[in-house]
Amino acid sequence: MKYKVDEDGIAWITLDRVDRLNSFDEESWKELGDKVRTANNDKNVKVLVLTGEGRAFSAGDDIFAMAELKDADDAKKFFDTLYYAVESLIELEKPLICAVNGLAYGGGCEILLFCDVVVGSKESKFSIPEAKLGLIPPMAISVGHKYWGRAVNRLAITGEVITAEEAKQIGIVDYIADDVLMKSKEIAKDIILNVDLEAVKVIKKWTKAEKERIQRAIMELALLSTTKSAKSRMEGFKDRHKKANKG
């Protein structure tokens, strides 16, 4: 995971597990939480931009890593780390822009709930497919209605893939751009030049998501992840993935 602060005071976090479509294992959830906290504590950072490298923003939780969780203790450790990252996004006092360069699935889509501005590419795709794996999308079902309305039900229950245009209609995406990084930088610089960042802190305090509700949903996901049904579906996902790669 890459981290840099540019001359304008914009911190850039780039997810770079390209071979896994920037999905999150336990280590990368921890790293995201660390880097967001670093940006939050750095007085030189005015705005944070989160993006992905390659053809994905993020495919969410790494199913290969989740399939290896042996018992409830393993699952709790993994999902405590996920919550550590989510908590850092919720508690961030600075503007957060997400530059969605490609697919945003599962947890990679749910992260957008905690962004202040989302810029999607014309080719970006969005999906919340956890139910297909016998799992749940904890952030979407706990606080998603507040931000995205009833569409959260449809996306979580069907697991369908939607385009950037539909994502914009729902409110998942704010802007669609040919160059998401350039557009994100433009927005970030505009915020830095025109907005009082102390006022932003207060705005974010009053609009942030409910941590306790999210934490309870994440723990429910931890329990589901070790059930026989979920394990079977995750193994099926792994088999399909391996066959597709061989083909």
Active site residues: 110, 130
The answer to whether 110 and 137 have CB atoms below 8 angstroms apart is yes
**What's the CA gap between 22 and 15, in Å, rounded?**
6
If we measure between CA atoms, which residue out of 112, 87, 114 comes closest to residue 211?
87
**What's the CA gap between 52 and 128, in Å, rounded?**
18
**What's the CA gap between 177 and 62, in Å, rounded?**
28
**What's the CA gap between 69 and 222, in Å, rounded?**
10
For the chain, how many residues are written?
247
Which residues, other chains included, contact 167 with Cβ-Cβ below 8 Å and sequence gap of 6+? Answer: 120, 124, 126, 173
Neighbours of 228 (CB within 10 A): 8
φ, ψ for residue 106, nearest 5 deg: 55, -130
**Inter-CA distances, 116 with 55, 161, 188, 218, Å:** 23, 23, 11, 22
**What's the CA gap between 91 and 114, in Å, rounded?**
10
